[in-house]
Amino acid sequence: MDILLLLPAIIHVYIFSLESLLWDHPSTRRVFGLSSEDAKVTKLFALNQGFYNLLLAIAIILGWFLRNGVLAMNDGVLAGNVLILYGLVSICIVGIVLFVSARRLWQSALVQIVPAFIGFIIMAN
């Protein structure tokens, strides 16, 4: 079940790489439906957005390490659970915002929302 908790983080590391490292690449432009000109205009925005996605992934990964005792500290399980839940809920909210604000990107929104929501359900049980 742990892979289902880490899946949203893995997806967001991938999104980080697209937005912050590969924004000008033709395959990335196809994923986001951008022309070369649009990619140039939005490059700084995408860089910033990519780092937000990376930070959400780091919260979940760090939380997983704490939860599983890989990083030892008092109340590590509690701190780990809080970080994982923070990351999962944040991803769900951001996915909902994407869905509402850009309906044409509904598939991208679902790629974010569904794994994060499954992780949230696992954490709730």
pLDDT tens figures, 65-101: 888 877 767 777 888 889 999 999 999 999 999 999 9
Other Cβ atoms within 10 Å of 5 Cβ, number: 24
User: Which pLDDT does position 78 carry in this prediction?
Assistant: 86
Percentage of the chain modeled with pLDDT above 90: 75
User: Which pLDDT does position 75 carry in this prediction?
Assistant: 75
Tell me if 114 sits within 8 A of 102, measured CB to CB: no
Cα 57 to Cα 14: distance, rounded to the nearest angstrom: 10
DSSP for 60-89?
Answer: HHHHHHHHTTSS--TTHHHHHHHHHHHHHH
User: Which pLDDT does position 2 carry in this prediction?
Assistant: 82
Write the single-letter amino acid at 60.
I
pLDDT tens figures, 37-53: 999 999 999 999 999 99
User: Which pLDDT does position 8 carry in this prediction?
Assistant: 95
User: Which pLDDT does position 77 carry in this prediction?
Assistant: 82
